[in-house]
Structure 1
Amino acid sequence: MKHGIITKFVLAATAATLFASTVFAGEGAKLVPEPVRAAGKITVGSQQTFPPIEFREPGASSVTGASADLLTEIAKRLDLQLEYVQAEYAALIPGIEAKRFDVASGGISDTEEREQKLDFVNYMQSGGSAMVRAEDADAYKTIADFCGKSVATLLGSRVIMAKVEEASAACTAGGKAEIRAEQLPSAPDARMQLDLKRVDAYLGDFPALVYMGAQFPGKYAIVGGNYMLTPYITSWGFSKDNTGLRDAVKVTLQEMLADGAYKAIMDKWGVGGALLPEITINLPASKR
């Protein structure tokens, strides 16, 4: 009887191990295109200056952040390595089109306009907000308060710029001065312009602004506390002829949602509130 119990235990343990391996390998691994499998890696284009989503610590060579950790886990489950290619935000879509890398990352958002060129795996809810110097916090409540003022945002931030242009048109229609917008290559550049008082606000992703503000306690404030200029869905971009890798990443992240790994990584970086209830392809904020 005792031998039978041990045998059943061993068989059950073996089955559990096999099941765990199958789950870990996942369905996504079967979808990896042969050229990517042969190369053994996924190349990721990223500005690497977008905390807490994807960035490098001063003096560090490795990329870290919520997106970086998600992609690292996805690559691990696909039995691939990750290789980062530094690219400014405005160069991410052209970089995919030129085959410089497999994935465009680092805070890019899915829009219907961008879907004409790329496909997107959606992984995070986000939105554009405005960060100002702490001493100016009481002066601004919404974008309408920036009539006649200047703002900075990242070069290529079409979603945010569209809202700024809309608000600026409302300013002039109401007899006020327009909002002046300056587009800069990176978040540190925009913050520097704010520090130098050359602009009155930095417009960027809410999670990134909160993280940046936390690095300099008392120096900055988010307009309205958590004012969202516009909602959007942060995503990874793929070439339209690379649907195999796109689907492999999507399916694997969906598995990570189911087993809790997705939430654990997002919570680690303080963006657990930005979880998507389902991992989707080409579903921007405008369609939700």
Structure 2
Amino acid sequence: MKAAPFLTTVIAILSLGACALTSEPPATVTTTAAGDGQASSAAAAVPAVAADSALHDLLPERIKSSGVIRVATNIPYPPWEMYTTAGGQQPTGIDYDLSQALGAKLGVRASFDHMSFDGMIPAIQAGKADIVMAGLFDTPKRRQTLDFVDYAKDGYSMLVAKGNPHGLKDVADLSGKTVAVQSSTSEEASLDKLSERFASEGKPGVTVLRFPGDSEAFLAIKSGKAVARVQATSAAAYAVKTFDDGNAFELVNAPSVTEQFGGGIEGIGVAKSDGELRTALQQALQALMDDGTYLKILAKYGVEDIALTKAEINQGTE
């Protein structure tokens, strides 16, 4: 099924009474086996994947017994995770499709459970989720709590209004400007450091508008409340392509953006104590890379350039 335009995604979230844009999600969205309507269509978009009994045997007993891997995520973050229709609750996106393919390869069902961004890692720690899939960067700080099965590489770009009305060319132009960001992300911490750097150079800092939801940060640019958003290039490029049919935003790609914000490797987060699950996921992901399923999923969203060829553990840098 073709991914819905990003504006439709925003409308879908807003139609929930803005609850999904708060730090407390309105409800847990848990997918079930494909039935009829939207779920069938979304499932049909993912290449058929056959279960591998040897990989299934690698899973921890609790998951073999329950038949479910509980995936913590934060919707929306196109193209990684979003809803298929306005007002719907059927997820789609890179992480959703890949989670379903991994589950199929391992011979279990993968739920896809929406929660606040800053609640995902605590959910793993509390045993309320098994893994995190949310376009999450594998960083040394996060590896204090989680191990990561790495599955994509990405850089950073500045997302600005169409026509770039403020003439932004690189990170130096953010001095004295207002920038939108989603709270608890690596971008938020990097913007604070950038503002401190400007202050040490005698320049005006960055005014950071912090939002609990990804959609609010996009809307802040569209409404003129912020001049830019610094974001992983995959997500920013998808917003440029889909929001208002490509008429709302454009990208500023400059080496200084990735140098300041780091870019890096996205990974599937797993508790450090969950070695059996980590190994099973790593081998299942490698199987999907080898048989072409992984690349087909990325191609569906036009982001083949973020692909990795090896499923490795904890290879991200700061």
Letter matched to residue 131 of structure 2: V
Which consecutive unaligned segments of at least 5 residues does structure 2 have? 1-49
Contact kept, 8 Å, 1:26 with 1:252, in 2: the verdict is: no
- Structure 1 residue aligned with 2:37: none
Q: Who is 1:32 aligned against?
A: 59
| TM-score, with structure 1 as normaliser | 0.85
Give the equivalent residue in structure 2 for 1:53.
80
Q: Which residue of 2 aligns with 1:220?
A: 249
> Which secondary structure state, in structure 1, belongs to the residue aligned with residue 176 of structure 2?
coil
Q: Return the letter of the residue paired with 2:225.
A: R
TM-score by length of 2: 0.78
Equivalent residue for 1:15? none
SS of corresponding position for 1:244: helix
Q: How does 1:188-227 map to 2 (within 5 A)?
A: 188-215=215-242, 216=244, 217-224=246-253
Q: Which of 125, 140, 146 is equivalent to 2:153?
A: 125
RMSD: 1.9
Which residue in the other structure is 2:273 paired with?
241
Query: How many aligned positions are there?
Result: 263
Query: Whole-Å Cα distance in 2 between the matches of residues 270 and 195 of structure 1?
Result: 23
Q: Is the 8 A contact 2:156 2:231 kept in 1?
A: yes
Percent identity among equivalent residues? 26
Q: CA deviation at 1:138?
A: 6.1
User: Which AA in structure 2 matches 1:231?
Assistant: G
Letter in 1 for 2:269: G
Deviation at 1:277, TM superposition (A): 2.3
Matched with 1:150 is: 178
Amino acid at match of 2:154: S
Summarize the Cα distance change of 1:127–1:186 in structure 2 as closer, same or farther, 3 Å threshold: farther
Structure 2 CA distance for aligned equivalents of residues 146 and 201 of structure 1: 8
**What's the offset of the Cα at 1:162?**
3.7
Q: Secondary structure at the match of 1:49?
A: coil
Contact 1:129 1:230 in 2 (8 A): no
How far off its partner does 1:163 sit? Answer: 2.9
Structure holding more helix per residue? 1
Match of 1:71 in 2: 99
Aligned pair partner of 1:90 in 83, 105, 118: 118
Point out the structure with max Rg over C-alpha. 1
